[in-house]
Amino acid sequence: MAKAFADKIVISGYDGGTGASPKTSIQHAGVPWEIGLAETHQTLKLNDLRSRVKLETDGKLLTGKDVAYACALGAEEFGFATAPLVVLGCIMMRVCHKDTCPVGVATQNKDLRALYRGKAHHVVNFMHFIAQELREILASLGLKRVEDLVGRTDLLQRSSTLKANSKAASIDVEKLLCPFDGPNTKEIQQNHNLEHGFDLTNLYEITKPYIAEGRRYTGSFTVNNEQRDVGVITGSEISKQYGEAGLPENTINVYTNGHAGQSLAAYAPKGLMIHHTGDANDYVGKGLSGGTVIVKAPFEERQNEIIAGNVSFYGATGGKAFINGSAGERFCIRNSGVDVVVEGIGDHGLEYMTGGHVINLGDVGKNFGQGMSGGIAYVIPSDVEAFVENNQLDTLSFTKIKHQEEKAFIKQMLEEHVSHTNSTRAIHVLKHFDRIEDVVVKVIPKDYQLMMQKIHLHKSLHDNEDEAMLAAFYDDSKTIDAKHKPAVVY
């Protein structure tokens, strides 16, 4: 990571509080931050890299003494979560994901939120106590600054409890305390060479006046896999000048070809369209925020291969994307609003997805849809029965599409896909669209579908949309009565 110009490395210990995690993960996964921090600090020093990065650690730091230990083992920054939450009233019920927090810390329930008693100054006071204890420890060691304690393993010694306890006595901690020569803190600012990157030397330099005036631009470029900022800085400048609204669709049209590097079109806002012919590395469309991303296979045979890397469209919030081939693993994780057409995805697809639509014209890998709580997937697998059997989850509904609204939406997206990529798979599906019900499997979270139907029902009963949303939230019915004609969720 340091060699790849990371500015900071975070060592997170197993003991941190994550109320929404499975109990097995909370109790049996991970290792203490002390081990990871000490080994990371030593390894960086041995490779003459410690001066390039900051080390941060977290994982239930509760006292100034904890901070002092972390500092002596090599940490320069420290993360706190559990303790401040407790200060704000958290009683560790482990129901963060159920919306039933009895003290109003982790819930959207109006009645439960009324029970919240936390104040910002409570956290401020707590951090003052942490700082005061750390200051006293520094004074007792004859040190004036926190920086003077970083990496000072010579100030640590084996605890007497380790000597008394027979099991603990077998633990060898001496290697964790072994000192090494060299700097203990970050001293050198990493040079990311952004001024030499693709956007600042090519794309943004050309499109700058067009963005400022809101004029339409179309241009073509050849890119390579060393360039990890294609469209990123240009998109950020659009957001700086126009905010979340961005520019009108297809104002800035960028056509690229070649082997694209990581983060192609990451965070692209509305008004920015990037059409790439070739393949692309990981993080295509990461955090997509309203823009349009197209990855077209350079020739027909490549349509059956992976042309977009892992973790594409991670955390995307809006926009459209068309992938003329397969994508790698962890596709559309935490997608909350983008509409995508893709032609096959790897393992862990659509994990934790909360919104948007994914139309997949191919097969999926293992662990599909785990943690998916919103959004909809329309999958056209090579074997419908095998797909349903291998991916069936209690939380997801696997059904056929029956309603014209859904069919119209799928057809529109596929037609756009063909217009952008000339996809042979999409052309084939459109050619036999009269059989679409037989080949498409609709995947939707059961709770999400029920909630959307409740919202639709209450909108017909309330004049105010906010009131309808709140009424749906408090509606604890498990189904929608057929007489109310449950809405089609698509």
Taking only the tens place, the pLDDT of each residue in 215-244 is: 999 999 999 999 999 999 999 999 999 999
pLDDT of residue 49: 94
Class of domain 217-445: mainly beta
62-72: pLDDT as tens digits: 999 999 999 99
- Neighbouring residues of 141: CB distance < 8 A, sequence distance ≥ 6: 149, 155
| Fold match, 8-177 / 217-445 | no
Chain centroid offset of residue 170 CA: 41
CA distance 460 to 476: 18
At 20 the pLDDT is 57
pLDDT of residue 183: 92
Structure tokens at 55: 């080390």
Residue 229: per-residue pLDDT: 92
> What is the predicted pLDDT for the residue at 371?
87
Helix pair 64-72, 120-140: axis angle to 10 deg = 50
What pLDDT score does 25 carry?
73
Residue 470 has a pLDDT of: 82
Which strand (E) or helix (H) includes residue 209?
Answer: helix 204-213
How do the domains of the chain map onto residue ranges? Answer: 8-177, 217-445
CA distance 229 to 199: 6
- Residues in the chain with pLDDT < 50? none
- Note the pTM of the prediction, 2 decimals: 0.80
Q: Of the CATH numbers 3.30.70.360, 3.40.630.30, 3.20.20.70, 3.40.50.10860, which one belongs to the domain with range 8-177?
A: 3.20.20.70
3-state DSSP assignment of residue 357: strand
